[in-house]
Amino acid sequence: MQHKTKENYLKNMYLLSDEEGNISMSELGKRMAVSIPTVNSMVKRLQEEGLVEYEKYKPLKLTADGEKHAAHILRKHRIAEVFLLKIMGFSWEEVHDIAEDMEHVSSDLLFDRMDEMLDHPDKDPHGSPIPGKDGKMMQNCYPRLSDLEIGQQARLCALVNSTNEFLVFLNKKGIALGDVMKVLVKEPFDKSMHISYKGHKNVTISGEVCDRLLVEIVTEKSL
């Protein structure tokens, strides 16, 4: 089995389990951009290696070894993203594609050295947690901006599904992690919001965007 393909399957299964609660063949196929028969064939190989539990008509599940392996790949990816941003000066929408290649480098020493240089970050440039060397990962328990009520304020802490297109959109709006946003208006029809943040007085963002912004509610005293 091709090493890179195997690692991509494991990583995407790990992410699906974390985001969706279970892993279906169809969703895994969408993530990998391949057909169901192709997914089925690969999953059976991973099962033979003891990395996946597979039973017909039931959700897929990573074994303990599979989960540990997948977390290790994700750790390398997210450390690489922080390194590319903070040390090499890439922007947050540029780092993902480069880290996709870097995560398959087998040298743990390289990533340990990056981790040391970065003073052991616990989140990537998009606010997603970085798994520890033991494979354990803290969970984001932030509410979405769309959950807030009029008048509430919150600090942007992480993103849901941080695609390059989404990051470029946020750049155009001048929105970045750490920004404090205040909800001015909530439109009941389309769930859009009018917000103010960092010198922007009244910006309208769609309900879809609000759902993808994870925030931490703040008070006037904590600002």
Those residues with Cβ within 8 angstroms of residue 96's Cβ, 6 or more apart along the chain or in another chain: 81, 162, 164
* Predicted pLDDT at 137: 86
- Phi, psi dihedral angles at 203 (to 5 degrees): -110, 135
Using CA atoms, how far apart are residues 23 and 32, in angstroms rounded to an integer? 13
Q: Assess contact for 69 and 60: CB atoms under 8 A.
A: no
Q: Assess contact for 203 and 194: CB atoms under 8 A.
A: yes
Distance of CA 142 to the CA centre of its chain: 13
Those residues with Cβ within 8 angstroms of residue 19's Cβ, 6 or more apart along the chain or in another chain: none
198 Rama sector, left if φ>0, alpha if ψ -120 to 50, beta otherwise: left
At 148 the three-state DSSP class reads coil
The CA angle 9-18-85, to the nearest 5 degrees, is: 75
Per-residue CA distances from 55 to 8, 20, 74 (Å)? 21, 19, 25
Q: Which segments of the chain have a pLDDT < 50?
A: none
Tell me the whole-structure pTM to 2 decimals: 0.90
* Predicted pLDDT at 221: 57
* Predicted pLDDT at 7: 95
Those residues with Cβ within 8 angstroms of residue 17's Cβ, 6 or more apart along the chain or in another chain: 23, 61, 62
* Predicted pLDDT at 20: 74
